[in-house]
Structure 1
């Protein structure tokens, strides 16, 4: 374990206490493999599962596992949508899922979740709808405060995400947030999740690795 990983483990102990105070179920895993096992222990077999667009969920291997175990789970696959109307219908079905899988753009030392979204399907599912939300996040997304979280997202997460998605935003060309009003902007909705009204709904798995953006 590197000094950075040791520091992350210490920080996670503090953050878990803060998250539990906010009615989140929080866990720490040292590796992606441990995180995958933990997520699967939370998700009940026979459940209907949906997900947001998340590099982290793919890196951990959770999305692939769910997709390849169709005898155990019913997966609402948004990638099969052929047009915007089909995509809208799939997002609507996701709201009634048993488990929604996602990452968070950032989280804070005092246990809050911070996200920026384009269409809003991901943050809307986090806020309301699915019976459970399972969030997996690398410790690289930990920030001191909500203000720092938004700065981190707009500088470190949104530009590479726009490049990954092939969007013609200013940041995809310069690598720096231009506070744009582009129709392709993914910085349309800013959501801070202070706490969960419903205990046991939101599960947050922190991982001692750099994951996602």
Structure 2
């Protein structure tokens, strides 16, 4: 019987090795698996770094946003050849990509539509496995003063403190507030609790003369705007 012999990346033709391919042909020539293989550096005795990377991506439906939801423990526990160092490298690299996207979205400092709000928060909230509630504080020209995370919860929801939101707005001399949170389920339709907290904050904002302009619910690829739907 013929014995199968595993070839490591070092045994490949020079032009097929991910690092050499990047240098000779550029970043665009590499697949997602080859880029991931460069990050993890080596595979195991049973498979090369590229083969391991393909397996990881396959489990994520070949979707980098899904990979971005994986924790260090997720990667370590499921894949032979992935230890602390490699798992941390993968998670840190994807977080850098998320932050790069976020910085690009911050170039626009004036809010003119719900789409502007989505463009700011989607890189932060779009692919999180848990809920987070944020506020965007604006001046009289609808320019962003700051954004602030109010709370973080489990997959089923998060706790909202109306007093903390108003105090944060007052401390930053905000003229108006936009609310934003994510739905990890991917369903952008507001829940009864979403509607209740929106109404409560809208009424509290009126008393303090700090109007709540909108409440945006973010999913991975879409959003719901209370203002656009005439519900605020």
Could you tell me the TM-score, scaled by structure 2's length? 0.22
Could you tell me the TM-score, scaled by structure 1's length? 0.24
Structure richer in strand, relative to its length:
1
Q: Which has the higher contact order (CA 8 A, sep 6+)?
A: 1
